[in-house]
Structure 1
Amino acid sequence: MKSKRKGIVSALLLAGVLLGAVFAYRQLVNRTNRDMPAGESGASSQKQTAPDMTVTDGDGKTIRLSSLRGKPVVLNFWASWCPPCQSEMPDYQSLYQQFGDKVAFVMVDMVGTRDETVNTAKAFLAQHAYTFPAYFDTIGSAANIYGVQSIPQSYYIDKSGVVRSKYEGMMQKTQMETAIRSIL
């Protein structure tokens, strides 16, 4: 009888722990969704200023996202090993050629993921003749600030520094263009 009671108490404790974990997870998801407006899956009416971050260019010079205020920004996190990222790149190149004089493109390579290095990213960009501005998140701080857990991930930021839309996963060119036009 005692072992049966112990089993029931253990099961109730385990159920309590699981329920607590589910509750904590939901709170975290809700906080994340409040902090960053979503893309097509439900745009938030809340205005959220894009968190500042620092990345480096191909020459090792640092750039702060906040230095681009006054101009709309396309912020994209990618890596050369990522097939969906590879699929998006020709469209981003085309849109950079079309809108690059009106919009700052900040294409951030995720250095350190799956053996990604600045050199492998540069080789990928050169091989495909991409001319959009590429930056490197060499210590993962930019990805951390934006909570990037999967790539590609894109943010469309207006000239005031407000995130207007966020997209997780690969986008179609028409989606990209619509998002860019929404921040012009």
Structure 2
Amino acid sequence: MAEVGFPGQHTTTTTVTSSTTVQTNIRFDPAYVQTAPGVLKVIQVMCSLLGFISVQAASYQYRGYGSFYSWISMIAFWFTGILLGLYLFHLVEKFYKIPWLKMELGFCGLWALFYLLASSLVVSVYNNAGYSAAAFFGFAAMFAYAIDAFLKIRAVQAGGLAQGTRVVSKQTTSAVTVTTPPREGY
């Protein structure tokens, strides 16, 4: 005999729908540099270039740590600069099936660590203004890459796209069927 107050049958149905909206035409969008990721990319490109120039203007620029810093800053400059161009012309949105956020997350995290190491090495050079300036720009780039990596982690966890929109809606329906036991006679 079923207990009173407990339903005989309970069914829950959850439906998750996702729609991705992208525009696959190539267009120039200068408003991208006013967004947080756009500002971070501009800061990263500028700090990488200015840090490279500072190391090259310093004396002893061909020592190991100066060469390492130059290598780090130029890879960052070109990779981030090309990526900025891809975002400005919405090429990232055109190829939305490529996992852009995950690639950027890996690069930003790795380059934040590389800039920490390279800037720490060049700041250890005593009494060299070029290396001190390079260390300043390197630490600024490190913070920009770390913030960008943090934003990319949050976007990847949320299932977002690099450009375009993805709308995920969740609908839950419940159906309860109660079976009443037959009444006993008086």
TM bracket, shorter-chain basis: under 0.3
Normalising to structure 2: TM-score of the pair? 0.26
Normalising to structure 1: TM-score of the pair? 0.26
The higher relative CO (CA closer than 8 Å, separation ≥ 6) is in: 2
**Higher helix residue share:** 2
**Higher strand residue share:** 1
